[in-house]
Structure 1
Amino acid sequence: MHLPGGILADKYGGRHVLSLGVLASAFITVITPAIIQNLSWHWLVVSRFLLGFAQAPMYPSITALLAHWVPARQRSRLGSLVYSGIQVGIVTGLLFSGLMIDFFGNWPVIFYVWGGLCFMWYGFFLVMCFSKPSSHPFITDKEKQMLNNEFGVTQRFRTPWKTMLKDSAVWALIGAQFGHDWITYLVEVDMPKYFKNVLKMNVADNALITSVPFAAMWFCSNLTGYLSDYIINKHNIKIVTMRIIYTTISSAGPSTLVLLATYMGCNSTLVVVFFWVGMISMGPYYPGLKVNVLDLTINFSGVLMSLANGIGVLTGIAVPYLVAKIAENQSMHQWQNVFWVTFVVCTVTNIIYIIWASGERRKWDYSPEVIPPPEETME
């Protein structure tokens, strides 16, 4: 649903695509305990599939919103603040879910609470958020004029698939996203297995070690976002240079440090330190690679994000499968091979990004060739 979601967000605005996705997710979440308690496990699998179906358009729709609301001079900091919200969700979800189960003595409560909060968010979001400044009833005329000057008159364009897919900057973005998602899924999904099976850590220590760095990542993302805007606005460095530096840090940092951690033997303290520093070094990913979509396009930001993020999340299928094949016996040597493969993937994709990345709006984003007849344009 990444690509359909991106197309819909660009055509009709990110407001409804995002809000309906969250609303559907909230409904599925709230009914999950009833499915588990009253139906077969097959229906639980169906509900998980539908949950992914509903949530897939979220990144493209968020990007479509940012493209029409965030000025270039604030792109790194505000883009990082929004995108890194996932880290806040992970930390609070892990922490408060455990506390709620302990306090109420049952597990269904966490589905009701988080689902209920999403229903509340839906109402608040519809009142406060609109797809474009021109349709927002509450902002001032001065704000609307400033944003219109920044982004131009809102029009509906035909997606220039051919020229977009021939652009090397697009493929550089997709490649780097693939490499980042590879190390991300390895860390989030499979590192707990390494801690458990190789370092013999208990469940409580494992949960703490794997959740705490997400808070540090959030802090690092926003700090580097502010720093990026400051440097770019002072004209000390080009946008593309800033994106490349941050993307390289968030790719080479975790892939190298996590690899080195496997050569620390059973020294769990050193392994955890390398793991944490590697996770924190992923912070510049948001003001680097993630907001680069907004540099390249305004009118097709949802589609471009759906291509990059949609291809990237395929690593969520590939990485666990690869780990299961390579680290079949969960030995230290086998895990080292897993992290060497990860290091190579991250290095190659990062080199591709360094060579072909761009920080300039692409010609296909506003070319007269893709502007429809006047009667098809809209405010």
Structure 2
Amino acid sequence: MEADKRPAWGQKCSKGCLLPLRIVITIMGFFALICAYMNRVSMSHVITKLVVPKNRTETHAGVCPPEKVSTEDAEYLTPGTYKWSEQLQGLVLGSFYIGYVITQLPGGILADEFGAKWVLGISLLISGLSTALSPIALQYGHEWGLMAIRIIKGAAQGPIFPALTTLLSHWVPAKERATLGTFCYSGVTAGTVLSNFCSGLMLHSFHWSMTLYVFGSVTILWFIFFILLCTSSPSGHPCIKPKEMDYLEELIPKKADKLPIPWKQMMLSKAMLAVIISQIGHDWGYYVMISCLPKYMADVLQFSIRSNGILTAFPFLAMWVSSLLSGFLADWLIRSGKLSINLERKLFTFIGALFPGLFMVIASYTGCNKILVVVFFTLSLFTMGPYYAGQKLTPMDMSPNFSGTIMAITNGIGSFAGMLSPYIVGVMTPNATINEWRWVFWLGLVILVGSAIIFWIWGTAEVQPYDPSAGEKKEG
């Protein structure tokens, strides 16, 4: 654990700080998620270059005519080498979540007990290394080697959300949580945007392995900066200004040391059940989009690899902008007294579930009108943005002392959706036609809305009785 008092040279260092350190921590958390999702999502594009394409004609039922490419661009179109079925492709993409599920809870407990800095840093370092080593794993182990390295990558990324939640709970006051927390978590969509856009360009111009080498190297570079700039708590940072330290001590309840985790009270509460179910619902809809949208664009709409990367970036860019706007709007609604924190969290969660599901289904009914398909997918993810100012913040609301553990449980169980969804989508779309995909999107709508309704009924942003700060809040 880090020292409770700042080093003696902290006063001198603090004079050179240009930004409040809670902003620096938030920005580094934002880039942590960018790196994590570049590592995670890139395989959804890379796999379209690895696999031998289906032999289709323009009149194939339920499939759109292929995009016309110039003679110059056609030189870059090299066929894949692996004859993988849709189900096997789903297993390759979903194997990441096998490791991801396993390490969520240990990562959350370690972050709560010993501080989030090294848990988060080492997780990203291993993730970056496994991404860079993926081409070697595929070369020598074929699909089984690739699945093995993706399981390792998933295990490395499992502690990221719990550790980041713990880090923010130590650094970000409640009244700034919607703005700064939402900005930090928006790194998920920013990373997906960059992964889609850069993957399309690099896969168009270079060998597919270059994509993984670049994303892995960027993550290792992030690790170096993070270790030098960040600490688990304000009291351990040598460069924090006394004014900011006093501000954070006043607004953030002091965390108790080495508290026993109240497993029974936590797991038997309706609030916890609501957070878990809403996480499963959101993760199903979101993981279907990040894992399978590039395949839908390639197999059904038959976009070229470069167009696929650019066009699949637009919906996630819209979601990133929406999540930022939602954070500012949520804080304004709460500060102005127009909505309570509890109602804001529920309302934004419901909006972030209903409309994304509706627009996904509508997109499947636009047929081969590629412009409309992209527009409705963009609307789908734009309206998913409020989720990050809703349910995603409730683990910090419910229990400041055990926020990492709660996030680990909810995010870990929700990850089963990420593990199962690519395989189930592969089973539901053996021929990759529009009609088959339409049922995928209808299923997504039902799961999203059903989970949001449960969160509306049982979810809460109130500090739970099992958290030590609950008594302090009542007294205040």
Provide the TM-score with structure 2 as the length reference: 0.72
The equivalences for 1:60-209 within 5 A come to: 60-100=162-202, 105-156=206-257, 157-209=259-311
Deviates more, 1:247-256 or 1:189-198: 189-198
Instruction: State the alpha-carbon separation in 2 of the partners of residues 205 and 259 from structure 1.
Output: 22
Q: Secondary structure at the match of 1:171?
A: helix
Secondary structure of 1:364's counterpart equals: coil
Gap change, CA 1:176 and 1:125, over 3 Å in 2:
same
Answer whether contact 2:425 2:440 (CA < 8 A) is retained. yes
Query: Does residue 126 of structure 2 align to residue 24 of structure 1?
Result: yes
Structure 2 match to 1:373: none
Alpha-carbon distance in structure 1 between the residues aligned to 2:323 and 2:249: 28
Give the Cα separation in 1 of the matches to 2:219 and 2:173: 28
SS of aligned partner of 1:137: coil
1:162–1:367: structure 2 CA closer, same or farther, 3 Å change rule? farther
Distance 1:326 1:334 in 2: 6
CA deviations on 1:254-311 (whole Å, 9 max, x unpaired) are: 1011112222333333222221111111111111111121111111111111111111
Specify the alignment match of 2:374 in structure 1. 272
- Aligned CA distance change for structure 1 residues 98 and 340 (closer, same or farther; 3 Å): closer
Q: CA, structure 1 residues 268+121, in 2 after alignment: closer, same or farther (shift >3 Å)?
A: closer
Cα gap change, 1:7 to 1:111, in 2 (>3 Å): same
How many residue pairs get aligned? The number is 367
**C-alpha distance in structure 1 between counterparts of 2:444 and 2:465, whole Å:** 35
Q: Tell me if 1:310 matches 2:392.
A: no
Q: 1:307-358 deviations in whole A, cap 9, x for unaligned?
A: 1111111111222233233333444443332222222111211110110111
Report the equivalent of 2:155.
53
Corresponding residue of 1:377: none
Return the match for 2:360 from 258, 269, 281: 258
Q: Deviations over 1:94-142 (max 9, x none)?
A: 3334545666x44444444333332322222122211111212211233
Deviation at 1:84, TM superposition (A): 0.9
CA distance in 1, matches of 2:419, 2:210: 30
Change over 3 Å in CA distance of 1:207–1:123 after alignment to 2 = closer
Unaligned runs of 5+ in 1: 370-379
Asked if 1 retains the 8 angstrom alpha-carbon contact of 2:201 and 2:306, the reply is no
Name which of 346, 353, 357 aligns with 2:459: 357
Equivalent position amino acid for 2:230 in 1: C
Instruction: For 1:218-237, list aligned pairs within 5 A.
Output: 218-237=320-339
Instruction: Give the Cα–Cα distance (whole angstroms) in 2 for the partners of residues 48 and 8 of structure 1.
Output: 23
Aligned positions of 1:319-330 closer than 5 A: 319-330=421-432
Q: SS at 1:52's partner residue?
A: helix
Cα distance between partner residues in 2 of 1:345 and 1:154: 36
User: Does residue 372 of structure 2 align to residue 295 of structure 1?
Assistant: no
Match of 2:62?
Answer: none
1:6 and 1:261 map into 2 onto residues whose CA distance is: 38
Tell me the percent identity.
Answer: 38
Change (3 A) 1:333 1:29: closer
Report the CA distance shift for 1:271/1:115 in structure 2 as closer, same or farther (over 3 A): closer
Counterparts in 2 of 1:196 and 1:288: CA distance versus 1, 3 Å = same
Q: 1:163 to 1:137 in 2, by over 3 A?
A: same
1:185 CA drift (Å): 1.6
* Partner Cα distance (1:194, 1:25) in 2: 27
Which of these residues, 34, 40, 48, is aligned with residue 141 of structure 2?
40
1:93, distance to aligned residue in structure 2 (A)? 2.8
CA distance in 1, matches of 2:311, 2:392: 26
**Using a 3 Å threshold, how does the CA distance of structure 1 residues 96 and 159 change in structure 2: closer, same or farther?**
same
**Letter aligned with residue 226 of structure 2:** F
Moved more, 107-116 or 346-355: 107-116
Cα 1:33–1:330, aligned 2, differ >3 Å: closer, same or farther?
A: closer
Contact in 1 for aligned 2:297/2:303 (Cα 8 Å): yes
Aligned partner of 2:116 in structure 1 is 14
Structure 2 unmatched runs, 5+: 1-102, 472-476
**Structure with greater contact order relative to length (CA < 8 Å, sep ≥ 6):** 1
In structure 1, C-alpha distance between the alignment counterparts of 2:296 and 2:340, rounded to whole Å:
40
Q: Residue 184 of structure 1: CA displacement?
A: 0.8
Deviation track 1:47-68 (CA, whole Å, cap 9, x = no partner) reads 2221111111101100000111
Shift of the alpha carbon at 1:221?
0.6
| Structure 2 counterpart of 1:166, one-letter code | L
CA RMSD, 1 decimal = 2.2
Structure 1 residues 28, 317: closer, same or farther in 2, change over 3 A? closer
Shift of 1:229: 0.6
SS of equivalent residue, structure 1 residue 217: helix
Contact kept? 2:255, 2:400, Cα under 8 Å: no
Q: Which amino acid aligns with 1:336?
A: R
Distance 2:301 2:203 in 1: 28
With the length of structure 1 as denominator, give the TM-score of the two structures. Answer: 0.90
